[in-house]
Amino acid sequence: MDHKTPRIVIVPSPGISHLIPLVEFAKRFVSLHHEFYVTFIVPTLGPPSNTMKSIFEAVAPTIDSIVLPQVNLEDLPPHIPAAVQIQLTVTHSLSSLRNVLKSLISTSNLVALVADLFASIAHDVANEFYISPFIFFPSSAMGLSFCLYFPKMDETLTCNFGELQEPVKIPGCIPIHGSDLPNPVQDRSSEAYKSFLRLSKRLHLADGIVVNSFMDMEPDVIKALQEEDGGTGNPPIYPVGPIIQNGSSSVVDGSECLKWLDNQPPKSVVYVSFGSGGTLSFDQVNELALGLELSGQRFLWAVRAPDNKSANAGYLSVQNEDPLNFLPLGFVERTKGKGQGLVVPNWAPQVEVLSHNSTGGFLTHCGWNSTLESVMHGVPLIAWPLFAEQKMNAVMLCDGLKVALRPKVNEKGLVEKEEVGKVVKDLLESEEGERIRNRMKDIKDAATNVLSENGSSTNALSELALRWKNMRLA
């Protein structure tokens, strides 16, 4: 590679769920624009995991990675929210990032630094070297619109969002109740709120924002974002999605799931998973288990050990307990014995499960990676949001796109077994479930089209490539 070859630096934030879409974005970008090189510079709280290693082993020769020295957890404040911990990890890595960039500049034509939303503090270092700063927004355009609009909302807000009587109106979005907005903004006095506000303000300082969504999925929001572009200070928006993993990295480990699915009727199984970081309370795990059994429908459940208190994000923690020990007595044996269900601990090869002909629905936490994987494979949803921006995603999926059902929660915050049974059965057997399935098929077709040679997402990537090609270091 000579010094004129354009190179993009990508800085993810800690956590596999944020790394994966950035890697997939890089893979798609260089497959369409061969003249670019990409270097990942990865902040971390620990040594690279086997999952991270396997992810980087499967990339093109024009993509490489540098893992920064790990940040000592003892250097971070105790008992801080996961999102704040992630951002502080990046902040503590800035000195190492600066050294790597200094080295790369001597041998490369660095034209842009693309940071994950939670790694946007890296733009401070990019600016020192006159490298153009971009954001990769890993969630919905609706979430992006909220983030960009949030500083204005903060100026006029006199109470917490959950106390608002009227739904919140975000540009281009369907009205949403304040309690369905992201967890970090629910308490104005919290450090999480202040951190989110700082992040939102940083978005306006980027030279461009790449969002993992597409026009046919969120037309009104994306149009509103692009109309604001330049008018009130929004950076240019590049909707390049849906960008997802093409396959799980360890299908052999999930072969039991796939063999079991091979023996089920078409579109008959509900896949149940709350992602890499989602855990339920002990009581909710029991209600969910009994409800799945009560539904009489087939299910495949990747179950995690419950959290003693509430649903939470487990991105940065390790669970050693066997989750099957927390299920109702005899549940696994009964449901497996009568061929109704298969329960696997912690993990299933999600992409392969969703693409399997026997899968007819997905009970999901509404994380954006899982949402887009469902879209790409045309699988209708049961929306069960837990944390972060997932309630906002659930509102969009249920009320906006109408591709999901959302179970009712009782006054104790639990979805009772009868409600679980009803919503699972409705998705697979009712007329409403059929309408949802057909709607999801339409969106799947649209997703395929936007990724085609002249599709809108492919064109957005070309616009980005042209802009970066024309950039030179000052």
Long-range Cβ contacts of 394-402 (<8 Å, 24+ apart): 394/180, 394/366, 395/174, 395/176, 395/177, 395/180, 396/140, 396/142, 396/173, 396/174, 396/218, 397/366, 397/371, 399/174, 400/142, 400/173, 400/174, 401/217, 401/439, 401/443, 402/435, 402/436, 402/439
Catalytic residue, chosen from 33, 92, 116, 377, is 116
DSSP, collapsed to helix, strand or coil, labels residue 425 as helix
Given the DSSP bridges, would you call strands 237-239 and 208-211 parallel, antiparallel or unpaired? parallel
Beta bridge partners of 66: 41
Whether the CB-CB separation of 389 and 143 falls below 8 Å is answered with yes
Given the DSSP bridges, would you call strands 278-279 and 312-313 parallel, antiparallel or unpaired? antiparallel
Q: Is 307 a catalytic residue?
A: no
Catalytic residue, chosen from 18, 33, 92, 365, is 18
Give the C-alpha separation, 292 to 334, whole Å: 12
CB atoms within 10 A of CB 474: 7
Give the C-alpha separation, 105 to 108, whole Å: 5
Q: 59-78: string of b/e by CB count within 10 Å (b at 16+)? A: beebbebebbebbeeeeeee
Query: In sequence order, what DSSP letters do the residues of 23-46 get, joined into one string?
Result: HHHHHHHHHH-TT-EEEEEE--SS
SS3 of 253-320: HHHHHHHHHHCCCCCCEEEEECCCCEECEHHHHHHHHHHHHHHCCEEEEEECCCECCCCEECCCCCCC
Give the C-alpha separation, 352 to 356, whole Å: 6
* Residues 244, 245, 247: CA angle, nearest 5 degrees: 145
Whether the CB-CB separation of 16 and 313 falls below 8 Å is answered with no
Q: Is 399 a catalytic residue?
A: no
Give the C-alpha separation, 379 to 270, whole Å: 10
The span from the first CA to the last CA of the chain, in angstroms, equals 21
**Which ranges constitute the DSSP H helices of 106-167?**
123-128, 141-156
Residue 336 CA, chain-centre distance (Å), reads: 31
Place of tokens 């949803």: 381
For residue 242, cis peptide bond before it (omega within 30 degrees of 0):
yes
**Residue 173 in tokens:** 């979005």
Just list the catalytic residues: 18, 116
